[in-house]
Structure formats: structure tokens, C-alpha cells
Chains A and B, each alone.
Chain A
């Protein structure tokens, strides 16, 4: 095999793994990273998105529109969850962890009861291309691109829009925001819904490559959490991007050297080690360095 195709294969896998982590984490960036709400049912909201995409697609809706349906459906489901259950647990981290885990169980088992364990498939679009003797799926790169695009949109939304400013004010200091006339409970519901909608879109994107079953969500929840946690809260966007890059790096290298299982384990280990050294995540460290550099330069 030529060196070029090996190198390209490596880069391709790396991008694929980063895309996977980023896309899985994209909803949680808002829900956990910004709101600080633990939602163990996030993967199940993605699962709902995947089902909606699959059903819509098989009903003749073009894939991109099916994915938008998924976003709307998961977003609404998220708002319902927030109003019915999650809002009562905002100040109790461990309890919210447990109650949302219960929700994830209800959703998984509920879907299992209704749709059965059968696996749905949606064909992967765009075909593939070759480099040297190896062929690569184009859609994987699309996933990577969409993940970056969505993260860019989140950043723009929270930095430049009125909604973003109000949401940030609410997360920062709810009492103060309330005093400024912001309806904070509606803000919470909407922000949670937005995070869920992004999860639904991610689920819909994954639906085109992964097999869809009621157990679709579990892995996404854990990977998304790990990515966001390792990223840290000081600056969620840069945090998540760097953490995805770091974790996917560990995974890709080990994957190639040993097996997929060892790849997963090494990614978990990398996450664990980063947290031991930087308990508040990578972004905290980056922020601190930025300050130090800024100081040095005057």
C-alpha cells in the first residue's frame, strides 16, 4: 500500500472520530455545558430524531428535510421533558442524574415495546471516493463538516443574538435576569429545547450511517458527556472542540495499532487522565494560559 493512502486513511479516520464526538456532543454543549443540566436521556432524544428521520425518509421525504423534522420532533420532546420533569431538579445534580436516567429507560423500553427490537436502516448517501487502493465514504466527511457548522452556529447564536444574550443572562444569574424582565423559566425551556433539537438533528445525521434501534442512544449519551466534561465549562465551544480532537486522537492511534475495543478504552483512559490533571476541563486551562500570555504582552 502506498504511503499516501495510509496517511490519508489515518487523517480520514481521525476526522471521522472527531466528527462523531462533536456531533454526539452538539446538543449537550448547550444543555450540560451552558445550562449545567445533567440529562442522561440525551441519547434517547437523539434516538427519537433517528426514528423520525428513518420513518420520514421511508415515507418519501428527502433525507435533509427528514433530518430537519427530526430536529423539530426532538426539540418538542425536549421541551415537554423539561416542563414535566427536569425543571424540578435544577438545583440537585445527583437527583437529576438519576431521574433523567429513568427517563432514558422509559424511552428506550417504550420504543422497544412500540417498534420492537427490529433495526431500521436508511441508505448512506453520496457514495465514496478512492485514494490509492482504499475507498472512503463521502458522508463521513459530511458529518464532520456538519458538526463544525452546527458548533459555529451555536457560537454565533449565543454571541450575537438577542436570544443568546438573554439565555446567557439567565444561566449566569436567574434572579437578576428575572429582575430585568426575562421570563427565565421560558428561557430554560427554550434553551433546553434547542439543545434537544440539535441532539435530534445529530441523531438524524447518524441515522444515515448507523443502525437504528431502541438502544441507539446509550453510547451517544456517554461519549457526549465525556467530550463535554473533558472540554470543561470555562469556554464550552473551544473546550469541546479541543477535547474532541484530543480524545479522537487517542482513539484513532490506538484503533489502528490494536482493536476497536482497545481504542474505546484508551479514549476513556485519556478522558480520565485529562480530568485528573485538569479537573475543570481543558478550556479552563486554555483560558488561564490566554490570561497569562495577555499579561506577558502587556
Chain B
């Protein structure tokens, strides 16, 4: 699927909060259709990076290009309309609504009313959540809520999917199933960026991986290259 044309390209991305620099000049690009993992110790700037990509926050300096177009100044709803979608680190579903209506809101932007029940059923099937339509979110297990949040993010059939810690709090079985779900999505040609802490999970995905450290791009390569990299070991041992 990869036609070697970067779909996202960032140059010199800087983000400061007050006096603290969360990102200090990140040049990063990802190809169309690529599945790409981003790892790094706590505070490396991973989540900040996603917030900038999604347009939740604006960079202090630098630019973001999407399909060659400068999208740095666009808000998150405008980027969503261009094909971006995100699952945040803190899960963020609608706690007062049922599973059905959690999916209804993102689906309704793209589908006619009549098609939505079918779409919901399809999504729930894909996410192993069939039969939970009428549950309120509080009745779901933690893993199920994660899947629901992923489902809400893919409801819009995005071109670029940003997943921030999709397996946090999941059991081993659930983690494996999540990897399976991500691989299936990737097979449809979706560009997917995944932030994770769980090394077993990253190993399972086994794809191009970027290491962020202190707000900078520290290393990049295939997972085996990253795994063999001594310096990467050191920064993890140094902080964990």
C-alpha cells in the first residue's frame, strides 16, 4: 500500500508549556498506509505530539503538513474533516450515553440516519462488543471501554488514526485481540500511529518504530533495530 509519499510530515515541531519544553524540534514523517509505533519514556512528549497532530493544541513553532498541505493552523474539527482521528490516552467516551449512542455521534457526521444501525452493528462486531448496544458505558469492562473508544475513532473511517495507549489496563488476551484489530485496520490501508508502553504489544505489531526522548526524535527504525539499540535500552533503564 505504501507509495513512499509521506502523508504526514512535521518539521521543527516545538511545544512549550510555560517555561517547560515538551517538544523541542521534531522532524517526523509517516508514509501513507504505514503502521507506525511511537515509544519513549514517560514525559518524552508522545501525547503532546499527538495533541499537536490532531490540532487540540497549537505548536509554539514548526509546521505540520498533511498530504503536502500545511495544516498547522487548522483546528481539530477541521483536521477531522480532512481524515484525522484520535483515541486519547485518557479514554474519553460519553459516560451518560449508551454504547449505541456513543457510536451514533461520530457516525452521524458521515452517514444517513437509516444506515447507522447497520454501521453500529458492524463496528460492534469488529470490536467484539456485539450485544452491548443498550448498556451505558459504566456497565462495560475497562477493556471494552477501550475498544469502544477505538470504535468511535474509526467510525469516521479516517485516513490517519492516532491511538494513544490503546491497550492500557487490558488483560493479555485483550491486548492480543487489540493488536489483531489494529493489524486488520492497517490491512485496509489506513495510516495508523500507535503510542504504547507495552513492549510485548509493540513486538507483536512488529513495525517501524520511533523513539522520542526529552521531546526529541531519539531513534527510528524497524522494531528489531530499535530493540537491538543499546542507547534505547539505556534511556529506558535510566528512567523506568
* In the assembled complex, B18 has its CB within 8 A of some CB on chain A: yes
* In the assembled complex, A291 has its CB within 8 A of some CB on chain B: yes
A235 to chain B, nearest CB (A): 10
Interface residues as binary, B36-63 with A (CB distance below 8 Å gives 1, 0 otherwise): 0000000000000000000000000000
* In the assembled complex, B19 has its CB within 8 A of some CB on chain A: yes
- Tell me the chain B residues, 12-39 only, with Cβ under 8 Å from chain A: 16, 18-19
Task: Kindly report which residue of chain B lies nearest to residue A287, judged by CB atoms.
Answer: B18
Contacts of A287 in B (CB 8 A): 18
Contacts of B16 in A (CB 8 A): 291
* In the assembled complex, A141 has its CB within 8 A of some CB on chain B: no
A294 to chain B, nearest CB (A): 8
Number of A-B contacts (CB under 8 A): 5
Interface of A is mostly: helix
Interface residues as binary, A264-298 with B (CB distance below 8 Å gives 1, 0 otherwise): 00000000000000000000000100010000000
- Tell me the chain B residues, 84-122 only, with Cβ under 8 Å from chain A: none
- Tell me the chain A residues, 223-255 only, with Cβ under 8 Å from chain B: 234
Determine the distance from Cα of A291 to Cα of B21 in the docked complex, in whole angstroms: 12
A172 to chain B, nearest CB (A): 13
Task: Kindly report which residue of chain A lies nearest to residue B60, judged by CB atoms.
Answer: A288
Contacts of A234 in B (CB 8 A): 18
Task: Kindly report which residue of chain A lies nearest to residue B18, judged by CB atoms.
Answer: A287
B37 to chain A, nearest CB (A): 30
Task: Kindly report which residue of chain B lies nearest to residue A294, judged by CB atoms.
Answer: B19
Contacts of A291 in B (CB 8 A): 16, 18-19
Contacts of B18 in A (CB 8 A): 234, 287, 291
Determine the distance from Cα of A287 to Cα of B19 in the docked complex, in whole angstroms: 9
Task: Kindly report which residue of chain A lies nearest to residue B16, judged by CB atoms.
Answer: A291
Determine the distance from Cα of A287 to Cα of B17 in the docked complex, in whole angstroms: 11
A293 to chain B, nearest CB (A): 12
Determine the distance from Cα of A96 to Cα of B18 in the docked complex, in whole angstroms: 28
Determine the distance from Cα of A291 to Cα of B20 in the docked complex, in whole angstroms: 10
Task: Kindly report which residue of chain B lies nearest to residue A290, judged by CB atoms.
Answer: B19
Contacts of B19 in A (CB 8 A): 291
Determine the distance from Cα of A291 to Cα of B16 in the docked complex, in whole angstroms: 10
Task: Kindly report which residue of chain B lies nearest to residue A284, judged by CB atoms.
Answer: B18
Determine the distance from Cα of A292 to Cα of B18 in the docked complex, in whole angstroms: 10
A66 to chain B, nearest CB (A): 43
Determine the distance from Cα of A234 to Cα of B18 in the docked complex, in whole angstroms: 8
Determine the distance from Cα of A15 to Cα of B19 in the docked complex, in whole angstroms: 34
A115 to chain B, nearest CB (A): 44
Task: Kindly report which residue of chain B lies nearest to residue A288, judged by CB atoms.
Answer: B18
Determine the distance from Cα of A291 to Cα of B19 in the docked complex, in whole angstroms: 7
Determine the distance from Cα of A267 to Cα of B189 in the docked complex, in whole angstroms: 56
Determine the distance from Cα of A252 to Cα of B19 in the docked complex, in whole angstroms: 36
B240 to chain A, nearest CB (A): 20
Interface residues as binary, B65-99 with A (CB distance below 8 Å gives 1, 0 otherwise): 00000000000000000000000000000000000
Residues of B within 8 A of A (CB): 16, 18-19
A-B contact pairs, 5 of them (CB 8 A): A234-B18, A287-B18, A291-B16, A291-B18, A291-B19
When A and B form their complex, which 5 residue pairs have the shortest distance between CB atoms, in order from nearest? A291-B19, A287-B18, A234-B18, A291-B18, A291-B16
